[in-house]
Amino acid sequence: MQLIRLLAVFLVLSGVFAPGMEAGAETVDDATLRPLIQALAAENFDETTKAVSGLAKTGDARVSAILNALTAGDLYIVKADKAVFIGKRDGSDYAATDPLTGAKLAPVPRNAAEKIKVNNRLRRDIAAAIGGLTLMSDNPAERRSAAETILKTRDPESIALLDQAIAAEKDSGIKAVMQQAKAAAVLNSTAPDDAKIAAIAEVTAGNSRDALGLLTPLQGSDGPVGDAAHSAIDSINGKLALWNGIQNIVYGLSLGSVLLLAAIGLAITFGVMGVINMAHGEMVMIGAYTTFVVQQIIRASAPGLFDYSLLIALPAAFIVSGAVGVVIERGIIRFLYGRPLETLLATWGISLVLQQAIRSWFGASNVQVGNPSWMAGSFDLGLLTLTWSRLWIIVFALSVFAVLQLVLKKTMLGLRMRAVTQNRRMASAMGIRTPWVDALTFGLGSGIAGIAGVALSQIDNVSPNLGQGYIIDSFVVVVFGGVGNLWGTLVGAMSLGIANKFLEPFAGAVLGKILVLVLIILFIQKRPRGLFALKGRAIEA
C-alpha cells in the first residue's frame, strides 16, 4: 500500500519535472544552483553554455527540467532585476514559476520580461547535458534519445557512463545505439589503438552514413587505426555506390508518381477527349486549395480529426474540381468539339480566370497545408532514406491509376465514355446521351486532377501558381506516353522520373532537366505518336 502510494507520487513528480528522475540522482542545495541558473541569463552564448555544463555537472535532478524549459524557450528574466523564471504566456503577462522550487510567482508583464536566447548550438549542448543525466532514465525513449545525442556529440567523457548504461540496458535496440555511441566516443578519445580498431568494426556494422562521418577524420592518421579506418571507408563506399543506384530508381519512381498524378487527369481530358486543356493545372490547384479549406475547417472545429484531413479532402477535392470541370464543359467546351485548337484558347482563358479568382479569394501568398502525422518523417531502408510522404504518394498515384482503369474498363460510365470517344454518332444513335457522357468524362478528368492536388499539396507550394508549374510537364508526359493511352501515361511518367533522377547527379538538376526534354524531342522523332502509339490504318483516317 505504502509502496503503491510512493510510486504514485513518484509518477506525478516525474510528470511535473518531465524527463529528469533517474536512479541515483543527487540533490544539491539551492544556494549552489541559484548562481548557476542566474548565469544562464548571460549576454552571450558562450557564457550560457558554460552555465549549462555547470548545471549539468551538479547532477541535480531538477536541472534537466530547467534545461528543458530553456530549450523550449520558456526561461525568462525580469528586465529590472535579472531574476530568472519559467514563464508561460497568459494574455499580456507571463504566468511565472520559480525554476528551482516550482513555486508560483507573481505574473510578469510581457514587456518587463526578456527571453533567454537559445540557439542551435546551445540546444545541442543542452541535449548532451541532459543526455548524460537521462542515460539511466526509466523511460526507454529518453534513454534512446540520450544515446543518440551522445552518438552525435561523441563526448569521450561519457564512455564510463555508457558502459554503465550498456550493462544495465535490457532493450536490445537501445543497447545497440548505446554501443554505437560508445564506439563513436572511443574513436573521439585517446583510447589505445586496439580499442579504436574494435570501435571501427562496431561503427562499420551500424548505419554506414553515420559511420562515414566518424571514420573520415581518422583516415589521415597513421598506424593501424588509420588503415582500419581506410578499409572500412572503402567497404562502406562500395555499399553506398550500390545504394545510390537503388536510390535513383526509388527517387525516380517517386518523381514519376508526382508526374503521373499531375498528368493523369490530363490523360483523360486531353488524351481521351482531345481537349487541349490548358486549365488542367488549375484543376490541380483547386484540389490543393480544397485541401486547405478542409484543413481550416478541421482546425477550427475538430482538431482531433486532423490526421484524417487528407482522407476527407480527397472526396471533397474530387467533387469540387469535378464540378468545376462539369461547369466548364457545359458552359464552354461543348461548343468547341471538333475544334481542338480552339479549346486551347478557351481553356487558356479559363486558366487565367481561375488563377485570378483564387488569388482574389485566398490572396496571392502561399497558404499552409499541413502534413498529417502519418505523412511526416522518414524511415531508413538499408542506406536509403525514404520519406513517408513520398512513399504514400507513390502508393496513391498507383491506386488512382488502378481505380481509373477499373472505372474505364468495368463500369457503365466507362463503357459509354469509350463508346462516345470512339464513335460519337454511333454511340448517340444507340441511345447514349453523349452530352452527359462528355460532361461526366470532363468532370472525371478534372476531379482526378483535383485529388492529385490533394497529394501535391503535401510536397509543394499551395499558391495560385501551383498549376502553372505542372502544366508543361503534364503535357509532355501524356504526349510522350502516347495520347489516348493511360498505360502510356503511366510508363511515360515513370520513365521520365527515373531518367531525370539518373541524369541529375552528374548533370545537375538544371542540365538534367534540359537533357530529358531534348531526349523527349528526339524520342518523338523515332515514335511520332508516343510510346504507346495505336498502330493501324485507323489513326490517320
Partner 1 sequence: MKAKDTLLYLDGVSVSFDGFRAINNLSLVLQAGEMRAVIGPNGAGKTTMMDIITGKTRPDTGDVYFKGEIDLTRHDEAEIALLGIGRKFQKPTVFESHTVEDNLMLALAGPRSAFSALFHRQSADEAERIDDILHTIRLHTKRDWLAANLSHGQKQWLEIGMLLAQDPKLLLVDEPVAGMTDAETAETAKLLREIAKTRSVLVVEHDMHFVRELDVKVTCLHEGSVLAEGSLDYVSNDQRVIEVYLGR
Partner 2 sequence: MITQWFFTHVDRRGAIVIALLVALACLVPLSNLLLPPTSALHVPTYLVSLIGKYLTYALLAVALDLVWGFCGILSLGHGAFFALGGYAMGMYLMRQIGPRGVYADPVLPDFMVFLNWKELPWFWHGFNHFWFAALMVVLVPGILAFGFGWLAFRSRVTGVYLSIITQALTYALLLAFFRNDMGFGGNNGLTDFKDILGFNIQADSTRSMLFAATALFLALAVFVTSFIVRSKLGKVLVGVRDAESRMRFLGYRVDRYKLFVWTVSAMMAGIAGALYVPQVGIINPSEFEPANSIEAVIWVAVGGRGTIIGPILGAVLVNFGKTYFTAAFPEIWLFALGALFILVTLFLPKGILGLYGTWETKRKDRIARKRSEPGSPATERATPIAEPQAAE
Partner 3 sequence: MSSLTARFIGTFAAAAMGAALAFSPAVAADDTIKVGILHSLSGTMAISETTLKDTMLFLIDEQNKKGGVLGKKLEAVVVDPASDWPLFAEKARQLIEQDKVAAVFGCWTSSSRKSVLPVFEELNSMLFYPVQYEGEESSRNVFYTGAAPNQQAIPAVDYLAKEEGVERWVLAGTDYVYPQTTNKILKAYLNAKGVKDEDIMINYTPFGHSDWQTIVSDIKKFGSAGKKTAVVSTINGDANVPFYKELANQGIKAEDIPVVAFSVGEEELAGLDTKPLVGHLAAWNYFQSVDADANAEFIKEWHAYTKNDKRVTNDPMEATYIGFNMWVKAVEAAGTTDSNAVIDSIVGVSVPNLSGGSATMMPNHHITKPVLIGEVQDDGQFDIVYQTPGLVVGDEWSDYLPGSKDLISDWRKPMSCGNFNVVSGKCGGVTN
Q: Which residues bind partner 3 (CB under 8 A)?
A: 45, 73, 114-115, 117-121, 123-124, 127, 152, 209-210, 212-217, 247-248, 251, 254-255, 258, 355-356, 359, 363-368, 370-371, 376-378, 385, 387-390, 458-465, 468-469, 500-501, 504-505, 508-510, 513
Q: Which is nearer to partner 1, 23 or 541 (CB)?
A: 541
Among 209, 339, 410, 433, binds partner 2 (CB under 8 A): 339
Interacting residues with partner 2 between 355 and 374 (CB under 8 A): 355-357, 360
Q: Which is nearer to partner 3, 322 or 372 (CB)?
A: 372
Residue partners of 74: CB distance under 8 A and separation at least 6: 86, 87, 88
Which of 224, 167, 220, 228 minimizes the C-alpha distance to 203?
228
Decide which of partner 2, partner 1, partner 3, none touches 217; Cβ closer than 5 to 8 Å per partner kind. partner 3
Residue partners of 67: CB distance under 8 A and separation at least 6: 52, 55, 56, 126, 129, 130
Q: Name the one range near partner 1 by CB under 8 A: 167-175, 193-201, 334-342, 533-541.
A: 533-541
Decide which of partner 3, partner 1, partner 2, none touches 118; Cβ closer than 5 to 8 Å per partner kind. partner 3
Q: Which is nearer to partner 2, 387 or 468 (CB)?
A: 468
Interacting residues with partner 2 between 129 and 158 (CB under 8 A): none
Question: In whole angstroms, what is the distance from residue 230 CA to residue 73 CA?
Answer: 43
Residue partners of 298: CB distance under 8 A and separation at least 6: 305, 306, 309, 312
Q: Which is nearer to partner 1, 338 or 536 (CB)?
A: 536
Cβ 535 to partner 1 shortest distance, Å: 4
**Nearest-5° angle of CA 447, CA 453, CA 455?**
115
Q: Which is nearer to partner 2, 358 or 404 (CB)?
A: 358
Cβ 404 to partner 3 shortest distance, Å: 23
CB atoms within 10 A of CB 454: 28
Q: Which is nearer to partner 1, 299 or 409 (CB)?
A: 409
Question: In whole angstroms, what is the distance from residue 300 CA to residue 383 CA?
Answer: 41
Decide which of partner 1, partner 3, partner 2, none touches 537; Cβ closer than 5 to 8 Å per partner kind. partner 1
Number of residues located near partner 1, criterion CB under 8 A: 5
Q: Name the one range near partner 2 by CB under 8 A: 151-159, 383-391, 485-493, 515-523.
A: 515-523
Q: Which is nearer to partner 1, 176 or 533 (CB)?
A: 533
Three-class SS of residue 370?
Answer: coil
Q: Which is nearer to partner 3, 185 or 258 (CB)?
A: 258
Q: Name the one range near partner 2 by CB under 8 A: 132-140, 252-260, 332-340, 379-387.
A: 332-340
Decide which of partner 3, partner 2, partner 1, none touches 344; Cβ closer than 5 to 8 Å per partner kind. partner 2
Residue 36, H or E segment: helix 30-40
Cβ 541 to partner 1 shortest distance, Å: 8
Q: Which is nearer to partner 3, 262 or 326 (CB)?
A: 262
Interacting residues with partner 2 between 274 and 303 (CB under 8 A): 274, 276, 278
Question: In whole angstroms, what is the distance from residue 336 CA to residue 277 CA?
Answer: 12
Question: In whole angstroms, what is the distance from residue 432 CA to residue 427 CA?
Answer: 6
Taking CB under 8 A as the rule, does residue 536 contact partner 1?
A: yes
Q: Three-state secondary structure along 268-309?
A: HHHHHCCCCCCCHHHHHHHHHHHHHHHHHHHHHHCHHHHHHH
Cβ 428 to partner 3 shortest distance, Å: 24
Sign of CA dihedral 428, 431, 433, 438: negative
Decide which of partner 3, partner 2, partner 1, none touches 368; Cβ closer than 5 to 8 Å per partner kind. partner 3
Q: Which is nearer to partner 3, 204 or 389 (CB)?
A: 389
Question: In whole angstroms, what is the distance from residue 515 CA to residue 242 CA?
Answer: 24
Q: Cell for 111?
A: 514587456
Amino acid at 267: A
Which of 476, 446, 447, 457 minimizes the C-alpha distance to 392?
457
Q: Name the one range near partner 2 by CB under 8 A: 301-309, 402-410, 438-446, 521-529.
A: 521-529
Taking CB under 8 A as the rule, does residue 483 contact partner 2?
A: yes
**Maximum Cα–Cα distance for the chain, whole Å?**
96
Q: What are the residues facing 108 on neighbouring strands?
A: 94
**Nearest-5° angle of CA 198, CA 204, CA 209?**
145
Taking CB under 8 A as the rule, does residue 535 contact partner 1?
A: yes
- For residues 53 and 85, is the Cβ–Cβ distance under 8 A? no
Residue ranges of alpha helices (H) inside 457-485 are: 468-481
Amino acid at 208: S
Taking CB under 8 A as the rule, does residue 529 contact partner 2?
A: yes
Number of residues located near partner 2, criterion CB under 8 A: 47
- For residues 73 and 118, is the Cβ–Cβ distance under 8 A? yes
By CB under 8 A, name the binding residues for partner 1: 534-537, 541
